[in-house]
Structure 1
Amino acid sequence: MPTKAPAAPSPLAPSPSRACPPRSSALPPSPSSVSAASASAPSAPDHPATAPFEPKAPAFPAGAFLCTHDDARRHPHNHLSCRNMTPDPSLAPAQSALAAGNFDDAAGLFTAALQKDAAHTEARLGLARTLHFAGLLGPALQSLAPFFTTPEISAAAPPAAWLEAALIHRAAGRFNDARLTLENAPPAVHQHPAWSINLADVLLEQGHPAASRDLLAAAPGLLARQPQAASSWLRSQLYLPEVDASQLHASSRQWARWHGGYDPIPMVPPNRELARRLRLVFVSSRLCAHNSAQQLLGILPHLDRKGFHVTLVSTGRIKDSVTEKLRTLANVWIDIPSELPDADTAKLLRDTKADILVDQQEHSNNGPISLFTRRIAPLQVHWYCNALSTGLRTLDARISDSTTEPQGQADELSSEPILRLPHGYLAYTPPHLAVAPVDLIDPARPLTLGGIPHLAKCTDAVLATWAEILRQLPHARLLLARNTLGDPATRDAFAARCHAAGIPADRLDLRPDGGAISTLAIFNDLDLILDTWPFGGEATSMDALWMGVPILTLCGDRITARRTTTLLKAVGRQDLVTTSPEAYIARAVEIASDLPALRASRAPLRAAVQASDWCNGPLIAADLAAAFRALWIKACHRK
């Protein structure tokens, strides 16, 4: 378990280390810039995680954060925070406006309720949530301030207020303050399922997958009651090298035993016409600027619409330019609020009369996997976010390929039949914000290794291996970029782990996103990507190769340890695939020892990517269409 985070500063007495003027009231510090608020945040000291509990208010920042509309809404756990409250019928129009994304109307209605009764808890929480989803994170925190005016009032604040404050911090990229808020909440808040789920998510973001897993497992009965908590518990194990492929499968089957007891019997199609136009329904909470949506952009323009009618169902809150583009590619678009119970959502999905229902997320990103525990359509299939077997018997196929999942053991460790496409299952579309790759690299720039891994992927073994590579390449540096590294305390704690593994501080460059990841510009600063294991890259590997940056990978025994291998094989760079840490180190040193040749390989690599199967949308769309049709014909012969 990571050390306990430092004590949360009370809004009654802002920390002197934070840039804020003296206050005459008990409200949080006044708004200022994000950089001023974050520059002096403390790092996490080493002291026992069992330190005595002291009730404190949430760690309100010195700045009122204005982030993008998308970033503010990427954490849809909010609906968990108020389920124990009795709804006020008078606020139904406000709640409906919020659910529909009409933030101006919702804010006006919640504000009007507060003008009548300033102590109206549900209205205040609703206003905070509205401002949060609208991207006005500073005002959202300010709206919660009445819950935390004194230590006594803070201790009596409703659990939803603490949970909402933590979610707002996380949306603002203040992961340590989110953790502080949750850890310092009163004991009554700790009993709420959303407390465990959100703290586990923050621990994972900060690079502590074992702590995330253990926290969820320790909450009495939580995993058996909450599908989302069980999914987070399952996903956290993907990062742990001590959990092998067989244990992962056992955990996915355990998830199904807890939550997958609905309608396991295959459904006979009501209309068995083999060649008719099929209703294809994709369900996702990430129909926005996200890698799963990018895959849809790769296939939908090329999918035979005479053979398939396409419905896109969004269960997420994020709407952006990618969402609008996807709308134009769908025959029908349906928005379903994430707060809607699964039984009601399943009814709406049945009303689409889907022939084939497609899941894109399995247990990731707060996706709708629990819907697939029910038999909603004659055929139910998983495609794209392929990290592990879902554990479900209600899925008729999981689409993959023979490199990512070779025949044999992979079939034994899959609850779903594996349907392997001949040219791979990926259909890459570069992000619309992507910059052009550099043609010439400053020869004075030192050899730069690294990548943009999730911090949880950077296990102690991975860091030790990178340290050895740097030892053997004394002129190289390690560049790692991630949005979580924009939080000073998270960055300092991760830097300490790197230093403990033997990575010199003066050769380590840790960067926040700053837009360089979403635009792919970060790859112009890298000479060689060092893939992680046992959880390697996929979307980020596609981005890196698209930008012409070679990736060194270690191929392992599970899906997440083989996906980059699949990509490299498709572009003819099997020479970048290794099978042991020793071979990984030796190959990295060999490649990087000839820096001119390494940099000269960028242009040919990008050309190979552009010619590869996973950049061939029409090819993958045709393969998917053939696979869907074959599954349909098989289903029509069921008895």
Structure 2
Amino acid sequence: MKKNVSMGPGQRLIQQAWTAHHAGRFAEAIKLVATAKRSGASMADACYIEALATSGLGRNAEAKALAEASLRRFPNHAGFMGIVGTLEAQLENFEVAARLLKQSVALQPEAGNLWQAYGAAMFALGDYNEAKMAGEKAMALLPNDPAVVGNYASALRESGNTMEAIPVMRRACALNPLQRINRANLLFTILYDETIGAEQLRREATDWAETLARMPVDAKIPAPQPSEGDKLRIGILSNDLRRHAVAYFLIPLIANIDRTRFEVHLFSLTSVTDNVTQKIRQYAESFQDVSKLPEAEVVRRIRETRCDVMVDLGGYTGASPLQYMVHRLAPKQLTWLGYPGTTGMKEIEYRITDWTADPAGYEHNYSEKLLRAPIFSAFHPMVTNPLFIYEPKYRVHPTPALENGYITFGSCNHIAKLGPKTMRLWSKVLARCPNARLLVEAAGCDRESVREMLRTRMEQHGIDTSRVDMIPRDGANQYLTYHRIDIVLDTAPVTGGTTTCDAIWMGVPIVTFAGDTFHQRVSAPFLHAAGLDELICETEDRYVEMACALASDVTQLNEIRQSIRPRAEQSEMFDAPRFASWFEDQVTEMVKDIKPETRARGERQEGVFFGGTWYPAQDLVLSVAAHLHMREYTPLRNVLENLTSTWYRHWMVAYGLAEIKYAGGMHEEAIDLLVEAIGMRPYALPLYRKLGIWMDERGFDKSALAQLLDDQFGLALETLEASPAPTVFEILGITVEYTDNNVAEEVTA
């Protein structure tokens, strides 16, 4: 006979607290829990509900503190592990979150919400294979949750299963057609389907843009107004103001915007900050983190800044800026960089591109008016440590086949890009080059599960995986891996972008398949700038033929390798001031109906904006001279780094670094840098005199220097050496006068 067990008053209150929590009445749940604690309820249950309800009220830091305290009291309580892990993920502490959530799901494997949180944490950490596994578990338990299904689809895509991801993402959108993240992710995911063309991409983007426009924000928010004063105000909205590919193109632009005529204001849709975020902030008049604000408040805050032009720097990726820009944040709006396709949004009037990425006749692919630059973005490598471009390990090496005796094809792209079309192209190339090898660098290749997935896919396309080396991505080797690659095989239909620029800078030729949409042509403008138009292939057969032709002559391949960086560095690809000047002209033209220029435009001011101040180029030269003269090498490095944001590779920076290296005892590196400075400024005799002095001090043979002086100037080395040692002012071309008080005055630079 069964006994009737009645709940005590404490447990009844706990039950009521659960009911209130599930109904979203979080404050009521917290009150009930407080009473339950005094009535003898289970302390673990009471604390658990209290932490959940506190989080439900949006007080995540407080909820985390409560859950952590409870976890110390109940160390094996799966619920507290799950709460703390979930909150750590919300606070973007993903490594801690993943560890706790993994422990939590092991103890309660039927908790779909925890599998979902664990998968999201692993996705943020770049472990897409583990995120896919967790997503499968979550979807099995919560099959009709659109967020769960959408996250699983994203994990499928990023783990390389792009074609399988598309129907799953469409299902997620069908479960909730208004969920913004899933719809944006769908537009991004379908780029990987080679059967989807520009017309369908535009149609799907337009459909979603029109849906977004029907989701109103607070009508009381004042309409966007142009800025006051003479300067034009440029706003940039992005989810990627951090260590991200965007930085390689954004910093060269905003560091070069002429601050005598313009201001730059940044708005971040992520609370993640790192050293790149701090660097980016230095090049703007203001930086606002709007990531945690409600949608209406984001719109209000940005409109109040009164930008004349707002730039979308994300498109349909991540936390899309477009969900805010559809409400019009500035009188004029344009899209650039983030998403390789049309926004379909009538509120975005312009799109920055170029004639190679979007040749004549491509206008129908877009809802925006195309603004065609010399190249759609200037690129600078080493944005985290700009002066590293002068380091010996980043110099272009001979093509490795000269030593290896075989060709190494390579790819350093995201696994998501290694889909069926890429595999088909690579298989054909390797079949035609039976002695060649393939090197694949990608995030996740340190895990056997990822390597096995790639091996299986390659074998399905006829690739002999015994000829394939897979290595994990390591930020420290971003450029160095190219020393192991003879020829890069680009991905398709989504090509490389930043990785293409990296390869070009390291001197490695890239064979690319260029289709009829922007995302299939991202590599092409950079190859065009580097003088490698023949490597831009319009058919699959041409792609295979070109890769094999390059591989057939190693001597010629090495000559091409040695020529690529110098050509690229002299092109629009590295000319940030030119791109910034073009951009300034476009902004001035597009706003002339709302804010015409009120004063005559003078000659464009060359310089760098940094830390709230505009430094004209001449002032920077004088600053370099002063620091060198006083041997103040730490501030000198700071100035040289900021100069590199504008001038990229400049003789004065190489000379300044040479002085720093020589003073630090790195004499051979210093002499190499001085030779590099001479190569960039071949008619500056004080540099030759300095070189001769250093070579004497180190006991180096000067016959090559003597020959160079004779060839360049018809000057004997002995004649040069009869002159006194040059001062830093003489080397930098600065005339110094001394007053009666013996105070130096810089007259010209």
Higher helix share: 2
- In 2, are the aligned partners of 1:224 and 1:259 still within 8 Å (CA)? no
> Is 1:213 aligned to 2:166, yes or no?
yes
Deviation readout 1:18-73 (Å, 9 max, x if unpaired): xxxxxxxxxxxxxxxxxxxxxxxxxxxxxxxxxxxxxxxxxxxxxxxxxxxxxxxx
Match for 2:259 among 305, 318, 321? 305
- In 1, are the aligned partners of 2:227 and 2:307 still within 8 Å (CA)? no
> Is 1:154 aligned to 2:109, yes or no?
yes
1:117 CA displacement: 8.4
The equivalent residue for 1:340 is: 293
Q: SS of the counterpart of 2:340?
A: coil
| 2-structure distance, mates of 1:172, 1:225 | 27
Match for 1:290 among 212, 231, 244? 244
Q: SS of the counterpart of 1:163?
A: helix
Aligned in 2, Cα 1:123/1:589: closer, same or farther, shift over 3 Å?
A: closer
The equivalent residue for 1:425 is: 376
- In 2, are the aligned partners of 1:529 and 1:552 still within 8 Å (CA)? yes
- In 2, are the aligned partners of 1:551 and 1:576 still within 8 Å (CA)? yes
| 2-structure distance, mates of 1:416, 1:263 | 22
| 2-structure distance, mates of 1:485, 1:358 | 36
Superposition pairs of residues 470-481 of structure 1, within 5 angstroms: 470-481=430-441
Q: SS of the counterpart of 1:375?
A: coil
> Is 1:280 aligned to 2:280, yes or no?
no
Deviation readout 1:455-489 (Å, 9 max, x if unpaired): 33233233222222112212111111110333322
Aligned in 2, Cα 1:487/1:634: closer, same or farther, shift over 3 Å?
A: farther
Q: SS of the counterpart of 2:591?
A: helix
Residue 474 of structure 2 aligns with an amino acid whose one-letter code is G
Q: SS of the counterpart of 1:297?
A: helix
Aligned in 2, Cα 1:109/1:459: closer, same or farther, shift over 3 Å?
A: same
- In 1, are the aligned partners of 2:395 and 2:506 still within 8 Å (CA)? yes
Query: Between the two proteins, what is the percent identity of the paired residues?
Result: 25
The equivalent residue for 2:612 is: none
Match for 1:602 among 561, 564, 586? 561
Aligned in 2, Cα 1:144/1:107: closer, same or farther, shift over 3 Å?
A: farther
Q: SS of the counterpart of 1:225?
A: coil
| 1-structure distance, mates of 2:542, 2:313 | 34
Aligned in 2, Cα 1:586/1:399: closer, same or farther, shift over 3 Å?
A: same
Aligned in 2, Cα 1:485/1:635: closer, same or farther, shift over 3 Å?
A: farther
The equivalent residue for 2:360 is: 407
- In 1, are the aligned partners of 2:344 and 2:366 still within 8 Å (CA)? yes
Deviation readout 1:375-399 (Å, 9 max, x if unpaired): 2211111122251001111112111
| 2-structure distance, mates of 1:98, 1:599 | 59
1:449 CA displacement: 0.7
Q: SS of the counterpart of 1:313?
A: strand
TM-score relative to the length of structure 2: 0.67
Residue 424 of structure 1 aligns with an amino acid whose one-letter code is I
Match for 1:242 among 188, 195, 204? 195
Q: SS of the counterpart of 1:420?
A: strand
The equivalent residue for 2:531 is: 572
- In 2, are the aligned partners of 1:196 and 1:216 still within 8 Å (CA)? yes
Superposition pairs of residues 52-63 of structure 1, within 5 angstroms: none
The equivalent residue for 1:327 is: 281
The equivalent residue for 2:469 is: 509
The equivalent residue for 2:633 is: none
The equivalent residue for 2:149 is: 196
Aligned in 2, Cα 1:270/1:110: closer, same or farther, shift over 3 Å?
A: same
1:549 CA displacement: 0.7
Aligned in 2, Cα 1:543/1:260: closer, same or farther, shift over 3 Å?
A: farther
1:229 CA displacement: 0.3
Match for 1:254 among 204, 207, 211? 207
| 1-structure distance, mates of 2:52, 2:261 | 42
Aligned in 2, Cα 1:398/1:441: closer, same or farther, shift over 3 Å?
A: closer
| 1-structure distance, mates of 2:491, 2:85 | 41
Q: SS of the counterpart of 2:142?
A: helix
What is the count of residue pairs matched by the alignment?
A: 542
1:437 CA displacement: 3.5
Deviation readout 1:261-291 (Å, 9 max, x if unpaired): 3689xx9974588x82122111111111112
Between 1:175-184 and 1:291-300, the stretch displaced more is 175-184
> Is 1:142 aligned to 2:100, yes or no?
yes
Structure 1: any 5+ residue segments left out of the alignment? 1-81
The CA RMSD over aligned residues, in Å, is: 3.3
Aligned in 2, Cα 1:250/1:603: closer, same or farther, shift over 3 Å?
A: same
Aligned in 2, Cα 1:225/1:424: closer, same or farther, shift over 3 Å?
A: same
| 1-structure distance, mates of 2:58, 2:556 | 55
TM-score relative to the length of structure 1: 0.77
> Is 1:630 aligned to 2:581, yes or no?
no
| 1-structure distance, mates of 2:90, 2:307 | 34
- In 2, are the aligned partners of 1:200 and 1:215 still within 8 Å (CA)? yes
Q: Which has the higher contact order (CA 8 A, sep 6+)?
A: 1
Residue 225 of structure 1 aligns with an amino acid whose one-letter code is L
| 1-structure distance, mates of 2:232, 2:52 | 38
The equivalent residue for 2:498 is: 539
The equivalent residue for 2:575 is: 616
Residue 425 of structure 2 aligns with an amino acid whose one-letter code is T
| 1-structure distance, mates of 2:317, 2:230 | 33
| 2-structure distance, mates of 1:317, 1:354 | 22
| 2-structure distance, mates of 1:466, 1:144 | 37
Deviation readout 1:143-168 (Å, 9 max, x if unpaired): 6635642xxx432x3x4322111123
1:112 CA displacement: 3.1
1:113 CA displacement: 5.6
| 2-structure distance, mates of 1:374, 1:298 | 29
| 2-structure distance, mates of 1:94, 1:324 | 32
Aligned in 2, Cα 1:221/1:122: closer, same or farther, shift over 3 Å?
A: farther
Give 1 or 2 for the bigger CA radius of gyration: 2
Aligned in 2, Cα 1:544/1:632: closer, same or farther, shift over 3 Å?
A: same
1:84 CA displacement: 9.3
Structure 2: any 5+ residue segments left out of the alignment? 1-20, 31-49, 597-749
The equivalent residue for 1:467 is: 427
Residue 176 of structure 1 aligns with an amino acid whose one-letter code is N
1:92 CA displacement: 11
Deviation readout 1:302-361 (Å, 9 max, x if unpaired): 101122121111111321111111111111111122x43322221221222222111111
| 2-structure distance, mates of 1:465, 1:177 | 28
The equivalent residue for 1:451 is: 411
Aligned in 2, Cα 1:440/1:192: closer, same or farther, shift over 3 Å?
A: same
- In 1, are the aligned partners of 2:353 and 2:375 still within 8 Å (CA)? yes
Match for 1:369 among 318, 322, 331? 322
Between 1:362-371 and 1:107-116, the stretch displaced more is 107-116
- In 2, are the aligned partners of 1:314 and 1:335 still within 8 Å (CA)? yes
Q: SS of the counterpart of 1:329?
A: coil
Deviation readout 1:487-542 (Å, 9 max, x if unpaired): 3222211211111211112211122113355x321111111111122211121111
Match for 1:557 among 513, 516, 520? 516
- In 1, are the aligned partners of 2:312 and 2:335 still within 8 Å (CA)? yes
The equivalent residue for 2:83 is: 125
Aligned in 2, Cα 1:98/1:300: closer, same or farther, shift over 3 Å?
A: farther
The equivalent residue for 2:122 is: 169
The equivalent residue for 1:111 is: 68
| 1-structure distance, mates of 2:254, 2:525 | 23
1:300 CA displacement: 1.4
